[in-house]
Each structure stands twice: as C-alpha cells, then as structure tokens.
C-alpha cells in the first residue's frame, strides 16, 4: 500500500497524541522489566502541559516542524516531530505503526527532517536504552554519545509522569554529525 507524507497542522493534534501514546505503550511495556500498561494511561498524555507541548510540536513555526505519514486510505501510519534548537535539530518524536514497520516509513519521515533543515546541521535525539530503534538510528548515521551519562526523566513529578521514575526508563543521547548524505 502506498504511503504519502504531509506536514502536520494543529488539526492533527488529537490523532498525534493518541498515536504516540499507543506506540509508546507497544514499545516500552515489558513485563520482564516490570513496565506495565498503566504507565501509559491517557491522563499522562492529555494533561495540560503535555497537550500544549504536542500542540506546539504539530504547529509549524521557525522552531517546530512535524510530518504525518498516511496510507492511501488516509490512515495514519507514522509521525515525526522535530525542533530546531539552534546548535542542532532535536528529533522529539518518531513513531511508525507496528504493522507498518520495516517498510521504509521511518526513513521517509527522517528524510523529511533532513531535507527541511539540510545535511549541514547536527541532529540529536534521546532513545531508551532497550529500544531496538537504536539500530534504526545507527542505519541513518546516528551514533551513541558515550560521554553522556544515562538520561533520566525523574525531574517530572511522579503523579504526572510515573514512567520517568522507573529505574529501567533511562536513555542514551545519539548524534548525527553534519555532512552525512540523507
Ligand atoms: C524506530 C522506527 C520508527 C523505525 O521505523 P521503520 O519504518 O520500521 O524503519 P525503516 O523501515 O524506515 O528502516 C530503515 C532502516 O533501519 C533498519 N531498522 C528498522 N528497524 C530496525 C530494528 N528494530 N532493528 C534493526 N534495524 C532496523 C531497517 O532494516 C532499515 O535498514 P536498511 O534501509 O539498511 O534496510 C519504528 O520501529 C517504530 O516506530 N518503533 C516504535 C516507536 C519507537 O521506538 N520510536 C523511537 C523512539 S526514540
């Protein structure tokens, strides 16, 4: 099935939030690590500040840009949100529907960002240490920054973002240096 990509707009915010939540649940719930689905309750994604963050991410501006991938029936199959942080471009969210992974959609979305900001920029992201996406990012030219200590999310209040307090929920920083062709 063909896939097309369009720039996100504020109208996409609700499906964007639901899609990201669903994907995070599928990616991170892991009984062996004692990470259950309750960590991904909708309340944590729809509280005021997190919703405002998603709205900002899907609203094109000098700083923010997001893209949505859909199949030819219009079904949402992927999202990417990125932010120009001046010294680098931060990939904030990247998710492809489980049943559409390994079909090139993640790469297509990343190429939108690489084309928009260009190959002479540095790109950065955080990835949870047990996420197989690490190998995807390596394929696209990213490498783990070994000098950065584990990134934790426990600065969020426990009642607001409980997964941030889970001992297994820590991330690597990865960088893609300027000059790598898309
Ligand atoms: C990570 C993710 C976005 C990749 O998207 P995708 O559409 O499946 O990736 P693509 O099909 O475009 O793959 C591009 C390349 O990466 C490789 N790749 C993709 N997923 C991989 C994996 N899990 N392990 C190893 N390689 C992988 C592909 O084989 C392909 O390599 P090639 O072009 O050299 O053949 C997708 O798996 C996903 O949404 N995961 C769940 C959410 C998530 O973890 N997001 C990242 C949060 S930081």
Residue 139, Cα to own-chain centre: how many angstroms?
16
- Return the structure tokens found at 7: 């720039």
What is the total count of domains within the chain? Answer: 1
Each residue's pLDDT tens digit, 80-125? 999 999 999 999 999 999 999 999 999 999 999 999 999 999 999 9
Q: How far is the CA of 23 from the centre of ligand 1 (A)?
A: 13
pLDDT of residue 181: 74
Give me ligand 1 centre to Cα 25, in Å.
17
In a domain, 136, yes or no: yes
Give the position, in ligand 1's atom list, of the atom nearest the Cα of 109: 12
Q: Tokens 């783990």 correspond to what residue? A: 144
- Ligand 1 atom 16: residue of nearest CA: 136
We report the CATH number of the domain holding residue 86 as 3.40.630.30
Q: Please give the distance, rounded to the nearest whole angstrom, from the Cα atom of residue 48 to the centre of ligand 1.
A: 31
- pLDDT tens for residues 26-56? 999 999 999 999 999 999 998 898 999 999 9
- Look up the pTM and report it: 0.97
Asked if residue 73 is part of any domain, the answer here is yes
Residues of the chain with pLDDT > 90: what percent? 95
Domain span at residue 42? Answer: 3-176
* Domain assignment of residue 182, yes or no: no
Q: Is residue 81 part of a domain?
A: yes
Angle between helices 13-28 and 48-58 (to 10 degrees): 110
Q: How far is CA 39 from the centre of its chain?
A: 17
**DSSP labels, 100-133:** GTTSSHHHHHHHHHHHHH-TTS-EEEEEETT-TH
Q: Is residue 181 part of a domain?
A: no
Is residue 94 within 6 Å of ligand 1 at its C-beta?
yes
**Inside any domain, residue 74:** yes
């Amino acid at each position: 099935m063909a896939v097309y990509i369009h720039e996100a707009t504020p109208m996409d915010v609700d499906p964007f939030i639901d899609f990201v939540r669903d994907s995070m649940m599928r990616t991170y719930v892991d009984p062996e690590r004692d990470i259950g689905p309750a960590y991904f309750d909708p309340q944590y994604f729809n509280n005021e500040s997190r919703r405002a963050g998603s709205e900002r991410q899907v609203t094109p501006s000098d700083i923010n840009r997001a893209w949505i991938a859909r199949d030819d029936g219009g079904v949402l199959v992927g999202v990417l949100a990125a932010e120009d942080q001046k010294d680098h471009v931060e990939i904030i969210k990247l998710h492809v529907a489980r049943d559409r992974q390994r079909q090139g959609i993640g790469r297509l979305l990343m190429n939108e960002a690489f084309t928009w900001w260009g190959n002479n920029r540095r790109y950065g992201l955080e990835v949870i240490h047990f996420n197989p996406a690490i190998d995807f990012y390596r394929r696209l030219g990213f490498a783990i920054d070994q000098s950065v200590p584990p990134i934790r999310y426990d600065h969020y209040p426990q009642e607001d973002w409980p997964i941030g307090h889970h001992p297994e929920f820590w991330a690597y920083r990865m960088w893609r240096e300027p000059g790598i062709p898309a």
